[in-house]
Amino acid sequence: MESYSCGPDYPILEITLGQALDRTAERFPHQDAVVARRQGIRLTYSQLREGAVKVARGLWGLGLRPGDRIGAWASNCVEWLLLQHATARIGTVLINVNPAYRSHELAFVLRKSHMKALFLHEADARSNYLEILNQARAGLECPLEHVVLLGTDSWHGMLEKGVDPPSLSLSANDAVNIQYTSGTTGSPKGVLLTHRNLVNNGWVMGWTLKLGERDRICVPVPLYHCFGCVLGSICATVYGAALVLPSPQFEPLATLEAVEAERCTVIYGVPTMFIAELDHPEFRRFDLSSLRTGIMAGAPCPIEVMKRVVNVMGCREMTIGYGQTESSPVITGSLTDDSLELRVSTVGRALPNTEVKIAGPGLGETVEVGEQGELCTRGYLVMKGYDEEPEATARAIDSEGWLHTGDLATMRPDGYFRITGRAKEMIIRGGENIYPREIEEFLYTHPKIADVYVVGLPDARLGEAVLAAVRLKAGETATEDSIRDFCKGRIAHFKIPQYISFVDSFPMTVTGKIQKYRIREREIQARGLEAAAAIKTA
């Protein structure tokens, strides 16, 4: 029996995100669409559509046209959602910009994406975004024409000067979103996602959760990731459920308060978020009895954490999802009525309208059930490609339309999958995907570093932490803190190495290839991380 599975066959939704919102606003005009607790804003679906139309008029008034790129660089807020829906209505492409980006990363995205407008808050408790933007733009050639500060006169002025766009002929196959995911070459790649990709993945995830218009989804995960903007925003839009934003950035207490106050039936999170909620000193005082289901994803899910969410938090139908940005994002998932054993020991099975196979090395022939290989997927969910990178796209999507995930997996006889490793070197730290090569290439710009290799080390709370093994140039000296200081303000905080090891040489094969697994093994032993390495995940 071959390791191949295809999820249930349902009609594909051939509609745009704008049409999805219109349909839901007509069906449930007075239902809550968005509750942004920190902003004190509550919108019905009718109001959400009105707001999206108003922002779309504002974008058109700025001179933005179909195909233009627009960046949203902000933590969770109502304006982010309005931009998501507004850009989709006029054929522009929304670029999700991570608020953790610093000048080095922002400059790359500004140049690579060709964005014409960027929407941001001037500053928050974590960052001065305007200052970072000015640093990134210094000496940079890019077509950025408009910088709009959310919640200020520039935002309100844009809305007041709005112009009605003409009737537009938009297709479900048009690109609507670009999300940057780092690559093994060191440079992030822009994943082009279409209306068809995102609307259908939102529908699929609602199907797994048995979602309806009376559900209320607590979304503490960031909107700038697929988890938030697809499984959260678009999933809610397709089904008419309420989207509850507890706080701009994740706060465990705010999340618990939101579940109780809004009687949320669904909760999302990466494992570290659930750990923080369960371990919060005030956890026991909250009434979480409204919770029915949710999704734990974005990082390998520790089995014991899943059991605590089910048994202690009382979210008995909690599910697990697996995927990546290039697949819109979810490929496999568990169902609400799956046994706890399936939900804690696998990443579920192929979801509707999704093909999954386990391919062997070389020619990529499908392996037998139980054999390890690379997980590949095909269907509506596969990205349009990497923006302006045809060669990288061809490496990721083969001639038969299979997306090669780079993850190693096995399929059980019952069609459920287990992730067994990563063919790529990606590190997953608290739900953030980190590619070692990107950090290595940045650290090579340090004047004292001759050679550097980055690996992930096990971490009981975050899943993995970043280690940089550094060989200094002859005669140079440096401290761990000086290396970290070099990184601060220039790369995102989650990419800054938690561990730094100064070495004279690196373990190599006889042919001179670096053996990163030996660096990892050595550091685990030297740092006493064996217990963290032994934690079982689904």
pLDDT in tens, 236-289: 999 999 999 999 999 999 999 999 999 999 999 988 899 899 999 999 999 999
Is there a domain that residue 408 lies in? no
Total of domains in the chain: 2
For the cut 50, the answer to whether the pLDDT of residue 367 exceeds it is yes
Q: Which residues contact 37 (CB under 8 A, 6 or more apart)?
A: 244, 245, 246, 247, 254, 257, 258, 261, 262
Which residue(s) pair with 451 in the sheet? 471
Tokens matching residue 297: 């994803």
Is there a domain that residue 54 lies in? yes
Supply the angle between the helices 271-278 and 303-311 in degrees, to the nearest 10. 50
**pLDDT tens-digit map of 183-235:** 444 578 999 999 999 999 999 999 999 999 999 999 999 999 999 999 999 99
Q: Which of 135, 170, 205 is the last residue of a domain?
A: 170
Res 47: pLDDT: 98
User: Given the structure tokens 């605590």, which residue do they identify?
Assistant: 308
DSSP 290: T
**pLDDT tens-digit map of 66-122:** 999 999 999 999 999 999 999 999 999 999 999 999 999 999 999 999 999 999 999
For the cut 90, the answer to whether the pLDDT of residue 398 exceeds it is yes
Q: Which of 123, 142, 170 is the last residue of a domain?
A: 170
Question: Would you call the peptide bond into 329 cis, given omega within 30 degrees of 0 as the criterion?
Answer: yes
For the cut 50, the answer to whether the pLDDT of residue 369 exceeds it is yes
Neighbours of 49 (CB within 10 A): 22
**pLDDT tens-digit map of 509-532:** 554 557 888 899 999 999 999 898
Strands 189-194 and 175-181: antiparallel
Q: Which of 155, 170, 185 is the last residue of a domain?
A: 170
Instruction: Say if residues 217 and 245 touch (Cβ distance below 8 Å).
Output: no
Is there a domain that residue 148 lies in? yes
Domain holding 155, by residue range, is 17-31+43-170
Among 449, 403, 456, 396, CA closest to 426: 456
Instruction: Say if residues 55 and 46 touch (Cβ distance below 8 Å).
Output: no
Among 345, 356, 321, 284, CA closest to 6: 356
CATH number of the domain at 514, please.
Answer: 3.30.300.30
Backbone φ, ψ for residue 512 (5° rounding): 90, 10
**pLDDT tens-digit map of 417-476:** 998 876 667 788 988 888 787 888 789 889 999 888 899 999 989 999 999 999 898 899
Instruction: Say if residues 347 and 333 touch (Cβ distance below 8 Å).
Output: yes
Proportion of the chain above pLDDT 90, given as a percent = 81
CATH number of the domain at 103, please.
Answer: 3.40.50.980
Rounded CA-CA distance 437/426 in Å is 9
Of how many residues is the chain composed? 538
Is there a domain that residue 81 lies in? yes
pTM of the complete model: 0.86
Is there a domain that residue 395 lies in? no
Q: Which residues contact 290 (CB under 8 A, 6 or more apart)?
A: 216, 259, 260, 263, 264, 265
Is there a domain that residue 85 lies in? yes
Is there a domain that residue 465 lies in? yes
Rounded CA-CA distance 21/49 in Å is 7
Res 424: pLDDT: 63
Is there a domain that residue 166 lies in? yes
| Helix or strand (DSSP H, E) at 392 | helix 390-396
**What are the Cα distances from residue 533, in Å, to 194, 298, 514?**
38, 19, 22
Instruction: Say if residues 468 and 497 touch (Cβ distance below 8 Å).
Output: yes
What is the per-residue burial (b if ≥16 Cβ within 10 Å, else e) of 495-524? bbbbbbbeeeeebeeeeeeeebeebbebbb
Instruction: Say if residues 318 and 343 touch (Cβ distance below 8 Å).
Output: yes
**What are the Cα distances from residue 218, in Å, to 25, 270, 285, 441?**
20, 13, 18, 38
Res 185: pLDDT: 46
